[in-house]
């Protein structure tokens, strides 16, 4: 296994400098307060297209202040965990808080995310699964980590059943990160089997197969975002960020000589992860916002890698153009909602 590497330390104009960090946080807080003032997303929706566990959780979220505060705190800690993820695996090879800023900004300026969604909880389990996958880099004997990775993903499906479609993406990741073999693949299947063994035991104890019925309904509820009630503004922003992902792909590919082999493998998986997340967001209108949040995991890390280069004022200009674009999308969306 190759060394983790070290951060480069160079003094230059930084987007993650304290003044810009505070300014971005203030923008995010202002957007949350705007959503709070207009009751955007409250009361929390539930129904047959959401998981039974989430329906149970959302039935407890009857107080507006508590619900908004909980959603805000969960997003804040999810962004912090993503930041920790970046520090642990040195994806962005300079000291920066950009992963935190991008993820917090992208979701805070998305009114459809307010105040709390199933992904607000499931995103932690996805990040735990990513931790296990990346920690196993070039270690085909990491059977325990592969078991844990699969179990975390399956546990996330209790809040958002469609997460199960990400399992093949993690198998692809195992191949890209040189982990794939018969034993590691068997460990993931054992994690999958163990999870559903627990769920089956619970269903038998309760004499109620509702969990499996609800899961099957959520997985088969294909409603393409472009069709039906969804308007242009609903999918235009994610489409713009998908094009942004493509631009990042070309940019990162042009920097091949500046990356270690380990970093290349991590970045290539993040591109696949982002692409599949975007496709799933279009296939499931009911969980469009949730998969959009998963998509932003990849965007946040890839954009952080690109914006942290030796570009000074150019990075600042692009960053604030991005902020302005997000604010415009936010205002248009609020205009449609209110």
Alpha helices in the chain (DSSP H): 18-37, 52-58, 64-89, 98-108, 118-135, 143-156, 167-176, 182-206, 210-220, 232-253, 261-283, 288-307, 313-337
Q: What is the pLDDT of residues 239-278, one digit of tens each?
A: 788 888 888 888 877 766 556 788 889 999 999 999 999 9
**SS3 of residue 35 by DSSP:** helix
The answer to whether residue 10 scores a pLDDT higher than 60 is no
State residue 338's pLDDT score. 67
Under 8 Å between Cβ of 13 and 96: no
pLDDT(11) > 70? no
Asked whether the predicted pLDDT for residue 17 surpasses 90, the reply is no
pLDDT band at 311 (very low <50, low <70, confident <90, very high): low
Res 231 pLDDT > 80: no
What single-letter DSSP state applies at residue 223?
A: B
pTM as predicted: 0.91
8 confidence band (pLDDT: 50, 70, 90): very low
What pLDDT is attached to residue 233? Answer: 60
d(CA 111, CA 68): 12
What pLDDT band is residue 5 in, cutting at 50, 70 and 90? very low
Tokens of 210: 């509702």
Q: Taking residues 22-28, report their average pLDDT.
A: 92
Mean of pLDDT over the chain: 86
At CA 324, angle to CA 304 and CA 21, rounded to 5?
45
**Domain regions of the chain by residue span:** 18-337
Confidence (pLDDT) at 1: 41
Confidence of residue 84 (pLDDT cuts 50, 70, 90): very high
pLDDT, tens digit (0-9, with 9 covering 90-100), for 188-229: 999 999 999 999 998 898 888 888 888 888 888 888 776 555
Better-scored residue on pLDDT, 119 or 19? 119
Q: How far apart are CA 252 and CA 286, in angstroms?
A: 33
The CA angle 107-310-277, to the nearest 5 degrees, is 30
Per the model's pLDDT, the better-predicted residue between 86 and 5 turns out to be 86
For residue 177, what pLDDT band results from cuts at 50, 70 and 90? very high
Return the pLDDT at 214.
84
Q: Look at residues 86, 112, 114, 99 and name the one whose alpha carbon lies nearest to residue 29.
A: 114
Is pLDDT larger for residue 83 or for residue 260?
A: 83
Report pLDDT for 259.
65
Provide φ and ψ at 8, rounded to 5°. Answer: -85, 135
């Amino acid at each position: 296994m190759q060394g983790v590497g070290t951060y480069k330390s160079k003094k230059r104009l930084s987007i993650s400098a304290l003044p810009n960090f505070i300014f971005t946080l203030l923008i995010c807080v202002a957007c949350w307060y705007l959503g709070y003032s207009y009751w955007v997303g409250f009361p929390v929706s539930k129904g047959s297209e959401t998981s039974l566990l989430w329906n149970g959780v959302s039935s407890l979220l009857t107080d507006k202040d508590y619900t908004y505060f909980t959603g805000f705190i969960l997003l804040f800690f999810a962004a912090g965990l993503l930041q920790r993820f970046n520090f642990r695996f040195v994806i962005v090879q300079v000291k920066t808080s950009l992963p935190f800023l991008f993820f917090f900004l992208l979701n805070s300026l998305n009114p459809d995310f307010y105040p709390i969604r199933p992904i607000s909880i499931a995103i932690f389990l996805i990040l735990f699964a990513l931790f296990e996958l990346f920690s196993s880099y070039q270690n085909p004997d990491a059977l325990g980590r592969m078991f844990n990775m699969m179990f975390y993903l399956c546990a996330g499906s209790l809040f958002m059943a469609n997460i199960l479609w990400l399992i093949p993406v993690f198998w692809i990741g195992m191949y890209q990160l040189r982990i794939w073999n018969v034993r590691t693949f068997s460990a993931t299947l054992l994690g999958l089997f163990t999870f559903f063994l627990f769920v089956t035991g619970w269903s038998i104890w309760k004499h109620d197969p509702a969990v499996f019925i609800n899961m099957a309904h959520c997985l088969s509820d294909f409603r393409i975002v472009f069709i039906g009630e969804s308007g242009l503004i609903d999918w235009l922003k994610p489409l713009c960020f998908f094009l942004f992902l493509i631009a990042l792909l070309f940019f990162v590919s042009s920097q091949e000589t500046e990356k270690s082999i380990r970093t290349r493998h991590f970045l290539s998986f993040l591109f696949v992860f982002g692409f599949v997340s975007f496709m799933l967001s279009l296939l499931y209108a009911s969980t469009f916002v949730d998969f959009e949040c998963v998509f932003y995991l990849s965007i946040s890390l890839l954009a952080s890698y690109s914006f942290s280069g030796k570009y000074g004022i150019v990075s600042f200009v692009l960053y604030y153009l991005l902020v302005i674009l997000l604010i415009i999308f936010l205002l248009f969306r609020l205009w449609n909602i209110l």
